[in-house]
A and B are shown apart, each in its own frame.
Chain A
C-alpha cells in the first residue's frame, strides 16, 4: 500500500489509514456491503485496495460474482486508479464526516456481534452512538395516517424526554414523525440511519429534518458519500436500525412494507419488538396488527416501551409523554370545544373520515360543518389530508 501512498500529493495520516482505505473501497462503483465483505474476507483494507488497483480479485469473490466478475474487476480497477485513497479521504474530511470501522474505535457496541455487521459506517453530527444511553428504534410506513403520525411523535417525544435515543430511518411518514418528536423533546439526541450517502438527502423533502438531526444528534450510513437511493439500500439500512436498537417499536405498517423487514432483522438479532395497535379497518395498520396477532407485545404508550427497556422509573414524570394513552379520552383532548365543533369532533373518531360521512353522522349542513371543521383545524385537533379529515392529538 505504501506504493500508492507515495504517489499521492496528500499523505494519509497513519491513524486513519484503515478507515481511509475502507472508505475508498466502499466508495467504488457498484460496491455493496456483501461485495465489500468478500473483498475483505482474507485481506486487510490496504491489501484489498492494492489488489483492486492491480486488477485482481480474491478467488472467492470472483466465484461469487460469476459473469459479473470481469466487468466489475475492470470497473473497480479503473475507478481505483482514477481516484486515490487520499483524495477520497480528503473529500470525507472536508465534508465533515467521520468513518468508524468494524473493530476500530467508535464502532457501536451493539453491532459487534451482529450477524451482518457493516464493515464501516460513515457518520455526521455528534458521536451519540458512543454513549451508553438506551436506544429505541421507531419504524413504520411512509404512507402513515394522522393517527400513526401522532403516536410516532408522542413516542419520539416521550422517549427522548426519558433519556432514550430514538433511532429511525429519516424516511417520510412515521420515521420523520418519530424524529420530529424526539427533536421536540430536547432530551436524548436522535440518531438517523439512512440508506444513501450522507451528502445525498433522500427523500429531498426531509432535508430540513435531516439537517436538524445532524445538528443535535447523529446521522449514520453504511453507504459512501455520493451514493444515491437504490432498491436494496433501504432493506440493508433497516438491519442496521434493528441492530442498533435495544427495542424496536412498529407504529404503523401496511400488510407489506419495509418496516416488516426491520422487524425480521430485529427478531434475527433477538431484539424485542413492540407494536402499536391500529384500527382494524385501516390499511396502514394491517401489517402491524398482524404482528400483534403473531405474538408481538403491544405498545399502548411510553410506559410499555420503557418497561421493555427496564427503565420504567426513568419516565419524564407527569406530562404528555408519560400519560398512558388509555387515560386520554377524546373529551379531554377536545376540551373547550362546544356546539357544532364538539358534535363534529365526537363524530370524527380516530380514523380518517370523509366530510361526506361526517355530514351524514352529524346531520349538519355543509356550511355549519365547514365552520365546525375550520374551528377544529384552527385548534389543531383536526387535520385535512387530500380531502379527508383526521383527528390529531395535538399540534406539531
Chain B
C-alpha cells in the first residue's frame, strides 16, 4: 500500500516542498528512510514508532520504505516526523487518502505522540503547495503570517487522526497571549547629557548611517547603542517577513504574534567566528549575526578585539545588503541589511581620549589603531567620541527626550528618503545623491577646502553629503544643502586616532 503526504524542509532561510512517500509491503519487518535524510531525519523512525504506539495506533510489522522526494535535495531536521507518521497511517488504511490529499504536515513528534514546534515554520509554510497546513500549536501564529494558507494546529497524533477521520472537530487553539508591546530595550530618556551622541544616534537612525562610538570604558557607549533600536521605525511588511524568515529558520524566539515587526538587535561577542558572523555551517546552513540583525542593528562592542578576518568578511554584506555563502554542497543567499554600530576604546590603557589623558606611549596607541583597517573605518559615516558624562548632568541634569519622540522625527526623515526611492539616505547612489542634495555655493567651498586639505576622500565626500542630507531631513530643510548641515556632518566624523602635537609641514 502506498501513501503520499505533503511536507517541506528547510534550506537556509527558505523552504523546499517535500513529498513523503510511504510504502508498506509484505516481507521481513523493516523501516527504511531514503532520499538523503540526515541523522536527525533518519531517527524519525524511532520517534514515529513510539508516538504511534503511545497513541494506541498500529505499527505495521511489515516492510516499510519511506522516500523523501525530491530525492536529490538533502533533508535535515525533525520537521518531517509528522508527515512520515501520517503517511504510515494512510498506508495502513487508518486514514482515508483523500483526507490528506490537499494538506501538508509539518512538525516534530514526541514519544508520547505530541507535536513539537520546528524552526522555520514561516518559510516552510510558504514553501508547501497545498492550501491547508497542519502545524504544532506553538508554530501556529508564525505560520498564519502566510495569509494564503489555511492553518490547522494539532496537539497530538491522536487528536489529529480523529480530526482527519472527521470524528472530531479540529481542536481550537488559543494563540499565546502576545506581549502587549514589543520589547525595544531601554529608553533614550534614561540618558543624561550626551547631547552630541544622542544627536548622532538620531542621524544614524534617520539615514541608516553606520555609527562608530569611540570613548573610554564607562562612557556609556554600549548603553547608548542599546537604545538605537528604540528610535528606529517599525519594519515594513517585506522587511518584517524577511527578518521573520531569518529568525524563524535560525530557531530563534519570535515575538508574540510571530512577526518580527521591530528592528532586531544583535550584539555578538568579539570572539565570534567568521561563520557565526556571516552564516554557514554544515547540514542546514544557519544565517549569521549579520543576517539575524537584518532590518535592525548589529552592534560590535570592542571593535578592536574582533579578529581582523571576521571584520573584513563583514565588508561585502555591508556594501550589498545581502550575504552569499557558498559551500561545496550548496550556496545560500541571506538578507543582511543592517545598521552597523561599533564601539571601541581610543587606546588600550582605558584612559580618556582627551589630549594628555591617556597613559599609552604613542607607539602603543598607533599599534592599537592599526587593528582597524582604513576601508573598515571608511564604512562608518558617523564617528563620534563618547566621553564620560558630566557629573552635573549625571546627578541633576534634565531627563532627555524619550525614544518615541526621537522616533517620530526619524520616521519623518525616512518618509522623505522614500520619496527619493530608497529606505534611507545611506543607500543613495552617487547620481541619486547628486539629484537629491545639490550643494549651495558655500557648501561647495567648504567641501573644496576639505578635499584640498586632504581630510576627505571621494567616498568620504559622498558619505558626508548623505549625512548632511539626513540632518537636513531631520530639520525639515528644503533646497540645496546649506553649509551649516555640511559643517555639522563634518563635525560628526572625527578622526578617532589623531595624535596630539603639532603637524610639521
Contact = CB atoms under 8 A, between A and B. Distances in A.
Nearest to B490: A374
A354 B386 CA distance: 8
Contacts of A384: 494, 498
A371 B214 contact: no
A64 B225 CA distance: 60
B167 interface: no
A367 B484 CA distance: 7
B355 A145 contact: yes
Q: Is the interface of A mostly helix, strand, loop or mixed?
A: helix
A386 B195 contact: no
B106 to A, nearest CB: 52
B505 interface: yes
Interface stretch (A7-15, A38-46, A201-209): A201-209
Contacts of B484: 367-368, 370-371
A149 B193 contact: no
Interface in A347-377: 352, 354-357, 359-360, 366-371, 373-374
Interface stretch (A77-85, A87-95, A112-120, A173-181): A173-181
A284 B356 contact: yes
Interface string B343-361: 0001000010111111101
Contact of B498 (A208, A285, A369, A385): A385
B356 A283 contact: yes
Contacts of B357: 283-284, 352
Q: Which of the four size classes fits the interface of chain B?
A: 35 or more
Contact of A387 (B483, B490, B494, B504): B494
Nearest to A354: B387
B168 to A, nearest CB: 65
A367 B193 contact: no
Nearest to B361: A142
Contacts, number: 144
A232 to B, nearest CB: 15
A396 B502 contact: yes
A173 B346 contact: no
B385 A386 contact: yes
30 contacts: A143-B362, A143-B500, A144-B356, A144-B500, A149-B501, A149-B502, A177-B501, A177-B502, A212-B504, A254-B356, A283-B356, A354-B385, A355-B385, A356-B387, A357-B387, A359-B195, A360-B392, A360-B397, A366-B196, A367-B484, A367-B488, A371-B487, A385-B355, A385-B500, A386-B214, A386-B354, A386-B355, A386-B385, A388-B387, A396-B502
Interface of A: 141-146, 148-149, 153, 172-173, 176-177, 180, 203, 205-206, 208-209, 212, 252, 254, 282-285, 352, 354-357, 359-360, 366-371, 373-374, 384-388, 390, 396
Interface of B: 193-197, 199, 214, 346, 351, 353-359, 361-363, 384-387, 389-390, 392-393, 397, 471, 475, 483-485, 487-488, 490-492, 494-502, 504-505
